[in-house]
Structures are given as C-alpha cells and as structure tokens.
Amino acid sequence: MDYQKPCRRILDPKDMPMWLRSPAHHEIVSFAEQLSSSVAGYPVSAQYEISENVRSICRMLDQAETWIAQNPPDTTSSSRFGNQSFRKWQAELEQQVPQLLRDLLPTSSHGAIVELAPYLTESFGNATRIDYGSGHELSFLVWLLCLCKIGYFAPSDSTALVLVVFRRYLTLCQQLQRTYMLEPAGSHGVWGLDDYQFLPFYFGSAQFIGTSVPPSESISPTLVQAKSDEYLYLQGIRFVMEMKRGPFFEHSRQLYDISGVPRWEKVNQGLGKMYKAEVLGKFPVVQHLQFGTLFAISSEIN
C-alpha cells in the first residue's frame, strides 16, 4: 500500500454528504459497534486475551503520562480553563510520536507511520485552543482502527482494545483534563452527554448488558465509588461527579435521563445512534478529521 500524509477533506458543511457515504464513515461506525459488542457483559476484571501488542500500547500511554510531571501546570495563570503548560505536554507528544511508533511497529509497517502519527497526536486535545472534546476521542478511535487495518491488532484483541487500551487512554485524558483544565471543545453544557467524552458511556453501557445492575443505579455515588474501576460508564460518571458541582440532574441532564431507561440494551442502542448523529454527523466535530489511504473518504483512494 502507498501510504500518504493524511489531510482534511471536510472543509465546509456541504462536504458532509461526501463524509457520511464514505468508506471511512462506514468503517468507523462498524468498528465502534464491533468494539461495543465485544465487551457486552464484561467487567474489566473478566477473563479475555491481552496480547503483547495491547500491553505495548499501554506502556506507550504510561510514558506519555510521565510528561505531565515534567510539565506541571503554570500556577501563575488566573484563567479557569486552559493552562498553557498543556502546550509543552503536547509539544513533547508531537516530538516523540514518530519514534514511539517506530518502537511500537515492526519494520515492515514503518511506512504507515506517516498516516498513523497525525491521528495519535490529535487524540489528546488541541494545543492552540487548549481544549479537548469528542473529536479528539474520535481521532484515537481512528488510530486504533488504522492499527487494526495494518494487522497490528488481531480480531481477538477487540475486548482488550476497549477494557485495557481505551480505558488506559481515558485515564490519561482525564488526568490531562484535570491537570491542565482543558476547555471542553464544543460542549453542549447541561444538554450534552459529557463535556469531554462519549465513548466510555457507549462502550460502558454494553458492559452492563446481562448484569443485575439497572441503569437507575448508574448515578448512585455508592456504586460509582465501588465499581468505577470495573465499568467505563461508571468511570465516566465518577469524573463528572469530581469535576462538577451541584445536583447531578442539573449539571448532567442527559446522563440523568439515561438512568431512567429500564434496560441497558436500550441504553446501548440509543447511545450508538446518538454517537452517529451527535459526533459523526456534526460538522464542527468531524471537520478536523484527516484522511489518507488507511482511513479513506473516497473509494478511489481506498
């Protein structure tokens, strides 16, 4: 395959139909649905395969987290959001990513680094705006998809991609958000699902399918405290409770309303549709996506 540096193709709202019928859109929807299905009924501590390649990704994310201590927040900043030290962390990431990927991948896959690197560097936030949102989370999902397409991950890795790799990514992102007070990118405020993330709730709702825990318990502080290390949904709720003040139903109306849905299957199905509509279907989110040969917006490129 002839790899090429990815570039933006969704430059105007008029480009949205091209995106929505593209191979890339179909692949990312299918990939998210496959990952969600792969963790149905699985807590983090369940038995599933954790390959050496999965462990290698986690070690890479562990290394990225060490850069936070090396670039502590600027204590002279008086703004509520957007600590400028995040720019130093992001600069470290951009400098290190090519070598990190060379260390990660077999030599035969090094040609793909030109496509893989931009997705990884865009996965943790924007250094100019000092913000983070579901578009950055989407970039990480695209990066995982591309790794699958070059054969780095096997189909048997699907469960671990969510419960090990994505969970480790989520923990790092939450630490970045907490440390540098990243501005929520495109937040819908009280009417949004969450200021920063979407996928922990989609994947996490699948984890609860077939369990005795009803959705009504998902916002119980007692359950969140006890089980947030086992369920991504609760890890997301725990972070919301940590970062926001006031009654839950006031600051997180969508999540509060979801707790009134009777069955997790219905929650998971609804969140899947919501992801397609509110993340993949919104120009302000997907306008920053980049496309190459691995993640192609036209069948001619693919």
Helix (H, G, I), strand (E, B) or coil at 252: coil
pLDDT of residue 116: 98
Instruction: Measure the CA dihedral 264/270/271/273, to 10°.
Output: 150
What pLDDT digit, counting tens, does each position of 173-232 carry? 999 999 999 999 876 544 467 889 999 999 999 999 999 999 999 999 999 999 999 999
Q: Count CB-CB contacts under 10 A for residue 225.
A: 12
Q: Count CB-CB contacts under 10 A for residue 177.
A: 23
Query: d(Cα 220, Cα 226) in Å, to the nearest integer?
Result: 10
On whether the CB atoms of residues 201 and 235 are closer than 8 A, the answer is no
Report the amino acid identity of residue 257: D
What pLDDT digit, counting tens, does each position of 48-72 carry? 999 999 999 999 999 999 999 999 9
Query: d(Cα 130, Cα 77) in Å, to the nearest integer?
Result: 13
Query: d(Cα 261, Cα 177) in Å, to the nearest integer?
Result: 29
Q: Count CB-CB contacts under 10 A for residue 65.
A: 14
pLDDT of residue 190: 45
Residue whose pair of structure tokens reads 């400098």 in the numeric block: 95
Residue whose pair of structure tokens reads 């279907």 in the numeric block: 281
By percentage, how much of the chain surpasses pLDDT 70? 96
Q: Please report which residue ranges of 45-84 form alpha helices under DSSP H.
A: 52-70
pLDDT of residue 195: 83
Report the amino acid identity of residue 28: I
Query: d(Cα 197, Cα 179) in Å, to the nearest integer?
Result: 16
H or E stretch including 132? strand 131-132
What is the CA 211 to chain-centroid distance, rounded? 25
Tens of pLDDT, residue by residue, the chain (302 residues): 799 999 999 999 999 999 999 999 999 999 999 999 999 999 999 999 999 999 999 999 999 999 999 999 998 876 777 899 999 999 999 999 999 999 999 999 999 999 999 999 999 999 999 999 999 999 999 999 999 999 999 999 999 999 999 999 999 999 999 999 999 987 654 446 788 999 999 999 999 999 999 999 999 999 999 999 999 999 999 999 998 888 888 888 999 999 999 999 999 999 999 999 999 999 999 999 999 999 999 865 44
Query: d(Cα 250, Cα 243) in Å, to the nearest integer?
Result: 14
Q: Count CB-CB contacts under 10 A for residue 212.
A: 6
What is the CA 111 to chain-centroid distance, rounded? 25
Report the amino acid identity of residue 200: P
Residue whose pair of structure tokens reads 């790794």 in the numeric block: 147
To the nearest 10 degrees (0 to 180), the angle between helices 85-104 and 167-180 is 160
Query: d(Cα 280, Cα 135) in Å, to the nearest integer?
Result: 9
Q: Say if strands 290-291 and 183-184 run parallel, antiparallel, or are unpaired.
A: unpaired
